[in-house]
Amino acid sequence: MLERTREGWRFAAYVWTEDGTDAVLAPPAGVSVAIPSGGRWGIPGTADCRACHEGQPNPVLGFTALQLSSDRDPGAPHARAAHAEVHLEDLLDRGLLRGLPTSLRRPPRIAASSADERAALGYLHVNCGVCHNREGPLAGIGLDLLQSVAEGPASVERTRSSALAVPALRPVGGAEMRVEPGQPEHSVLFRRMGARDALDQMPPLGTEKPDRDALALLERWIHSLADRRTP
C-alpha cells in the first residue's frame, strides 16, 4: 500500500491471514510465505517498494500515456484486445481526464523504425523505464528506456544511443555491451532479462520467471539491428 502523508509517501505490505478475513502488516524486511499449491511467495519489504516506486519523480507508477493510447500495438507481448476500451479518448469522454496536453490529441505511439522495434521499445518503456530513465536516482548510469511522447523520434533515438554498442557498467559472462547490435547473446540487457538468479536478474525483484515472449521479441529486435554494428 502507498499512503501520501504530510511527511511524504509511506510504503507498507500486508499479509493475508490464513482464513482471508484480515491482513497483518508485513515486517519491514519483507517475508516469504508458503503457497497452498506448493512453493513460496516473497512479499516485498519496504525497501523493495521504494526500489521500484521511487525510480522516477512520481512514485505512483500509474499508466503512462503510451499505455493508454488507442493506437494499440498489435506486436506488444501479452497484448489483449479486451483492453482496448480503456484509452485516453474514452477517459476524456467519460470526464475522468481533463487538460490533455496538445501532444496527446493524436493517439500517441512510439516513433520506431519497425514493428519489432516499436514493440520492443514499448516493452522496455513499461517494464524497465521505471528505473532506467534520465530523471530518477539511476539517471547517472545513462541508460534511458523511458519514452517521451512529446519528444517523439528524439526520444527513440535517445534510447538507442544510450543502449546500442554502449559498454555495460556490469558485464555478464561474455556480454560486454548493453545491446550488441545483431547479437542478443552478447547483449547484457537481453542476458539479464533472461537470468533469474539474484546477482544478474532484471528486474532485480518482483519476478520469478523470465518473460519468454518478451525475450523472443527482444531477440528479433536485436538481430534486426545488425546493420548498426560498428566495424
Partner 1 sequence: MTQKKTLLVALSMSSLALAAPGTTPTSPVKRGEYLVMFGACHDCHTPKKMGPKGPELDTERLLSGHPEQMPVAPAPVLQGPWMAATVGTMTAWSGPWGISYTANLTPDRETGLGAWTEQNFVDTMRTGRHMGRGRPILPPMPWEMIGKLTDQDLKAVFAYLRTIPAVKNRVPQPTPPATTTADAAAPKPGK
CB of 198 to partner 1, least distance (A): 5
Contact 165, 230 (CB under 8 A): yes
195 binds partner 1, rule: CB under 8 A: yes
CB of 117 to partner 1, least distance (A): 17
CB count within 10 Å of CB 180 equals 23
Looking up cell 550488441, which residue turns up? 180
CB of 22 to partner 1, least distance (A): 29
87 versus 186: smaller Cβ distance to partner 1: 186
200 binds partner 1, rule: CB under 8 A: yes
Size of the site for partner 1 (CB under 8 A): 37
Looking up cell 559472462, which residue turns up? 173
Helix (H) or strand (E) holding 167: strand 167-172
For partner 1, the binding residue among 8, 173, 227, 231 (CB under 8 A) is: 173
Our measurement of the distance from residue 86's CA atom to the centroid of its chain's CA atoms, rounded to an integer in Å, reads: 20
7 versus 197: smaller Cβ distance to partner 1: 197
Task: Please name the amino acid found at residue 107.
Answer: P
Binding mask 121-160 for partner 1 (x = CB under 8 A): ----------x-----xx-xxx------------------
97 versus 215: smaller Cβ distance to partner 1: 215
CA atoms of 56 and 161, how far apart (whole Å): 20
**Would you call 220 helix, strand, or coil by DSSP?**
helix
66 versus 217: smaller Cβ distance to partner 1: 217
Contact 124, 179 (CB under 8 A): no
Binding mask 53-82 for partner 1 (x = CB under 8 A): --x---------------------------
Our measurement of the distance from residue 130's CA atom to the centroid of its chain's CA atoms, rounded to an integer in Å, reads: 5
CB of 183 to partner 1, least distance (A): 8
**Is residue 190 packed enough to be buried (19+ CB in 10 Å), middle (13-18) or exposed (0-12)?**
buried
CA separation (Å) from 93 to 34, 71, 96?
45, 17, 8
CB of 151 to partner 1, least distance (A): 23
Binding site for partner 1 (CB under 8 A): 47, 50-52, 55, 131, 137-138, 140-142, 167, 169-174, 184-185, 190-201, 204, 210, 212, 215, 219
